[in-house]
Chains A and B, each alone.
Chain A
Amino acid sequence: MWHNIWIIASKPDNIPIVGMLVLVLFFGFLSFWLAFKNDRIRRAAAVRPKPESGKAKRDAVDVIDIMYPESEQGLPKKVSCWPHLVKLEFICAIAVMALLMFWSIPIDAPLEEPSDPTLTPNPSKAPWYFLGLQDMLVYFDPWIAGVLLPTFIIVGLMVIPYIDVNPKGNGYYTFAERPFAILTYWFGFFVLWVLEIVIGTFCRGPGWMFFWPGQEWDPHRVVAEVNINWNEFLANITGVTTLKTETAGLLLGIITILTYFGLGMLIPYLWLKKRSAPIIDQLGLIRYSVVGFFFWTMMALSIKIVLRLAFSIKYILVTPWFNI
């Protein structure tokens, strides 16, 4: 079993993927550890009695606590770039160059046979950083997985600063002050991007079929997949055969998608309104809709994955021109 994993992991082009996983986990834990530490410090500072002069701003006190250990708190806030920063950059550059050298000498960049359009390798894989998108091809048609989702990812990332109206947590690690933003980011980045790359590398074998790590990549494996569309699935459970018609499928698909986004927008709105959370007024209608759209689109990916794996559902909406 380990032999098979080792064969895949030790491919020269897959070493960066293993490295990426280690680095992302390390820095992920580091950032959360720092965030929780800062939150503890701020909670402790909040119950501390105010300084007697009453002039010092509470926030400023907390922030110094967070950034510097007590021994450094009296030092000047600014330091000269030369030599303090330049020195660090230099050391860092040497370390990276050394790593690169030691990586480049023993491990050769892969070079396979000359390209041959008549000889398709199985599986044919995109470059490793796009494997998440390629894996989405299992669950979505190419125009969604290959065009729409990348566009949404780019636009979605770019709008983050304009839809995140929470003024807290600007410039320091914290979790308690922005849990929704951080959890959403890690769901998108780690679960949907990094883990999908790992699955695409280690678990997708011939025919892009799923193999558990260590399972032999048998090119002759046949898996009988009986995927059905959403309306057929509903027809099967309810027993209403008219749902199987094309028109019913079209209508049902449109209704399902509209209901999904409609409820996705409405329920959090009502819930926040009921608690009279100030975030609703801070966001305003346009920002709220943008947040809702991108958030529920991202969630739709995982929902579609679950629907496919658990109930073999192929399409939610079937039209003569495109399917979702």
Chain B
Amino acid sequence: MLTEQKEKIKDIVTKSQVYKSIFRRGFGDTPRNRALAILGNVFLHLHPPYVMRHALKFTHSWCMGGITFLLFIVLCFTGVFLCFYYHPDKINAYRDMKYFEYDVPFGVVLRNMHRWAAHLMVITVWLHMTRVFMTGAYKPPREFNWAVGVILLVLTLLLSFTGYLLPDDQLGFWAVTVGTNMARATPLLGHEGPFGEQLGATAYNDIRFALLGGSVVGGNALLRAYVWHCVAMPVTAIIFLAVHFWRTRKDGGTAGPL
């Protein structure tokens, strides 16, 4: 009696117009349904319906590319929540860190997770690169995708670097000061670099000034780091990620011996 009713309810739900408009396939374990599960879902559609068996082996792929992407998603989510509370100016930035520590619900875990995921992502990107190198997966036809991957590696490091300044504490301030002081020495474009002085570069018009929006790491640098970190670079990274994934598929998926 009860099972009969259950079946009936299930029937009503799965045959309703609403349900069928959302889920296009049945539950039967058929090759067609398996393919549709991938093809009919915009997120899973990153995958092809079928993959080479070797691509599933942990020892072959180390899962590092996927973990990197997962960490990128984690960083986007935690980053959005951090953005709700954070003000990129000299007066508020450090106070907001204390605000996270003492006031914001789960604020500490939120900030911790953002930082550790960022550090972890730097490591997994390097391991992903190492795996791709060791399996020779950059060889034809995947040369271009390797170059895209190098750009993504650089973007990862720059994202992490711009985020370093945002708490506006001694650690971030001096790390970014040390980092951006290098820009002074850029050949031609920095005022302390080779031929920079001869070309009229000063501390107030060289490339470091452009990066910091000033001659010291101050309020403008904080705002610039914030805009790079939260808008410009994530968007750039997403565009390159799209190309990276697309080319991975077009070039034949995870490299294996064929």
Contact = CB atoms under 8 A, between A and B. Distances in A.
Chain B interface, >50% SS class: helix
Interface in A108-140: 108-117, 119-121, 124-130, 133-134
A107 B129 CA distance: 28
Given A80-B35, A142-B185, A172-B135, A109 B255 contact: no
B88 interface: no
B6 to A, nearest CB: 25
B176 to A, nearest CB: 8
Interface stretch (B8-16, B117-125, B223-231, B239-247): B117-125
A79 B35 contact: no
B216 interface: yes
Contacts of A303: none
Instruction: Report, as a range, how many residues of chain B touch the other chain.
Output: 35 or more
A322 B185 CA distance: 10
Given A130-B179, A134-B178, A161-B147, A20 B134 contact: no
Contacts of B52: 77-79
A67 B54 contact: yes
Interface string A95-111: 01100110111011111
A19 interface: yes
B175 interface: yes
Interface string B118-149: 01101100110111011111111011001100
Given A100-B74, A111-B101, A146-B185, A125 B142 contact: no
Interface residues of A, number: 93
B167 to A, nearest CB: 6
B44 A129 contact: no
Contacts of A160: 133, 138, 146
B170 A116 contact: yes
Interface string B81-109: 00000000000001001000100000011
Most buried by A among B136, B167, B184, B194: B136
Nearest to B195: A321
A158 B169 contact: no
Interface stretch (A162-170, A273-281, A292-300): A162-170
A129 B120 CA distance: 11
A108 B123 contact: no
Given A100-B74, A116-B170, A147-B182, A27 B131 contact: yes
Contacts of B109: 104-105
A33 B231 CA distance: 42
B220 interface: no
A258 interface: no
B150 interface: yes
B200 interface: no
Nearest to A89: B66
A171 B257 contact: yes
A45 to B, nearest CB: 13
Contact of B194 (A35, A129, A169, A322): A322
B185 A143 contact: yes
Chain A interface, >50% SS class: helix
A248 interface: no
B21 to A, nearest CB: 21
A318 interface: no
A117 B176 CA distance: 12
Contacts of A28: 130
A78 B53 contact: yes
Contacts of A181: 133
Nearest to A119: B170
A20 B123 contact: yes
Contacts of B170: 112-116, 119, 121
Contacts of B71: 96
A322 B54 CA distance: 52
Contacts of B173: 115-117
B116 A109 contact: yes
B80 interface: no
Interface of A: 13, 16, 19-20, 23-24, 27-28, 30-31, 34-35, 63, 66-68, 72, 75-86, 88-89, 92-93, 96-97, 100-101, 103-105, 107-117, 119-121, 124-130, 133-134, 141-143, 145-148, 154, 157-158, 160-162, 164, 166-174, 178, 181-182, 185, 189, 321-322
Given A20-B123, A173-B135, 7 more contacts: A77-B53, A81-B44, A114-B168, A115-B173, A130-B161, A143-B185, A166-B139
Nearest 10 CB-CB pairs, A to B?
Answer: A146-B182, A115-B173, A161-B143, A142-B185, A322-B194, A63-B257, A16-B119, A104-B112, A143-B185, A109-B115
Interface of B: 31, 34-35, 37-38, 44, 47-60, 62-63, 66-67, 70-71, 74, 94, 97, 101, 108-109, 111-117, 119-120, 122-123, 126-127, 129-131, 133-140, 142-143, 146-147, 150, 153-154, 157, 160-161, 164, 167-175, 177-179, 181-187, 190, 192-195, 198, 216-217, 255-258
26 contacts: A19-B120, A23-B127, A31-B131, A34-B59, A72-B53, A78-B52, A79-B50, A88-B63, A92-B66, A100-B120, A107-B116, A115-B94, A115-B174, A117-B173, A126-B179, A127-B175, A143-B185, A143-B190, A146-B183, A147-B182, A157-B153, A161-B142, A170-B136, A170-B139, A171-B137, A173-B135
